[in-house]
Homo-oligomer: A and B are copies of this chain.
């Protein structure tokens, strides 16, 4: 069987292009011998284009991207652009327009990875972060800007439709994992309207999944457990903003954002899903071949998994695990890490 996929590549800003190059290299090695072909279209979006044209994501480009099977994204954001312009106009616009309501962020402590925790335990959980609602909707504004009478608002929008679909997705994922545990994280003692919608929805869906253990944590308490006992978590489901915060912390305790992959998934497949490292554009080290491409490479693995190629995805994870186990603390360039992982993927094939 051969399959050809069209891939939209948005390398973006800062270290985005460097790490994406390595992810594509590994993807190509996996593809060879698996009967898979990835036809790539590169989209020049991000700071450079904004400076040149004032555009973040033109409608016509969005429609072109929509025609692809999947999107690989590097990183978005640059200090030369006012904060929020590219994040809201490009990254979040893609997530919202393509209905990426499941923002999937696995956290696993690979053997041999240095962690800031003295006694991390066996960390292996996944955060299902809602991706199209909450405080991220961009529904807010300000009056009397720049005066002593300025008032600025941000509105968190939450719908039964939006909460239920992501909660169902999280339950299905918990069902497929050995521990079958789901933790809702919110702040329902303060944000009572949104919080109670989330809590009621989890309670209702839980009735259909009697073999799943469900618990609830306030977001502040959840950060404590991520520092003191992260191994307790299996599947976390949470809103867009809390998920943003928790997954950076989760990345920190599992060895840093150099390793954290993510998928912006449209489970209904009405539009392409998008895969990206959790890290940002890190402009301070851009262009110096210092960035760790592992998170981007693992994101390509999530992409393969989403397209139905679990075995190929597993090859990437195995190669990354082996590479990590062999790391000796010597600095390697972005390219060297990419090459090393690509060679391991290639070697796996010849062994198999």
A residues in contact (CB < 8 Å) with B: 77, 83-84, 87-88, 92, 115-119, 135-136, 138, 140-142, 144-161, 164, 187-197, 199-200, 219-221, 223-224, 226-228, 241, 244-245, 247-249, 251-253, 256-257
Chain B: minimal CB distance from A103 (Å): 13
- Shortest 9 CB-CB distances between A and B: which pairs? A220-B248, A84-B192, A150-B160, A223-B249, A152-B193, A154-B156, A227-B252, A87-B189, A224-B252
Q: Out of B115, B156, B196, B221, which one reaches A248, CB within 8 Å?
A: B221
* Identity of the chain B residue whose Cβ is nearest the Cβ of A118 in the assembled complex: B118
Contacts A148-B161, A188-B83, A228-B116 hold; do A153 and B249 have CB atoms under 8 A apart?
no
Please give the count of copies of this chain that the complex contains. 2
* Identity of the chain B residue whose Cβ is nearest the Cβ of A227 in the assembled complex: B252
Cβ–Cβ contact A87 & B227, under 8 A = no
Cβ–Cβ contact A224 & B245, under 8 A = no
Cβ–Cβ contact B245 & A219, under 8 A = yes
Question: What's the Cα separation between A252 and B253 when bound, in Å?
Answer: 13
Question: What's the Cα separation between A1 and B207 when bound, in Å?
Answer: 66
Cβ–Cβ contact A223 & B224, under 8 A = no
Chain B: minimal CB distance from A163 (Å): 9
Question: What's the Cα separation between A194 and B241 when bound, in Å?
Answer: 14
Question: What's the Cα separation between A49 and B192 when bound, in Å?
Answer: 21
Cβ–Cβ contact B248 & A224, under 8 A = yes
Cβ–Cβ contact A194 & B155, under 8 A = no
Contacts A146-B200, A245-B223 hold; do A194 and B160 have CB atoms under 8 A apart?
no
Question: What's the Cα separation between A192 and B219 when bound, in Å?
Answer: 22
| Contact residues in B for A152 (Cβ distance below 8 Å) | 158-159, 193-194, 196-197
Question: What's the Cα separation between A28 and B117 when bound, in Å?
Answer: 39
Chain B: minimal CB distance from A236 (Å): 14
* A-B pairs with beta carbons under 8 Å apart, 12 shown: A117-B227, A136-B190, A140-B156, A148-B161, A152-B158, A153-B156, A154-B155, A154-B191, A154-B194, A219-B244, A223-B245, A224-B248
| Contact residues in B for A87 (Cβ distance below 8 Å) | 189-190
* Identity of the chain B residue whose Cβ is nearest the Cβ of A84 in the assembled complex: B192
Chain B: minimal CB distance from A188 (Å): 5
| Contact residues in B for A142 (Cβ distance below 8 Å) | 193, 196-197
Question: What's the Cα separation between A197 and B139 when bound, in Å?
Answer: 16
Question: What's the Cα separation between A138 and B200 when bound, in Å?
Answer: 19
Cβ–Cβ contact A245 & B220, under 8 A = yes
Question: What's the Cα separation between A154 and B256 when bound, in Å?
Answer: 32
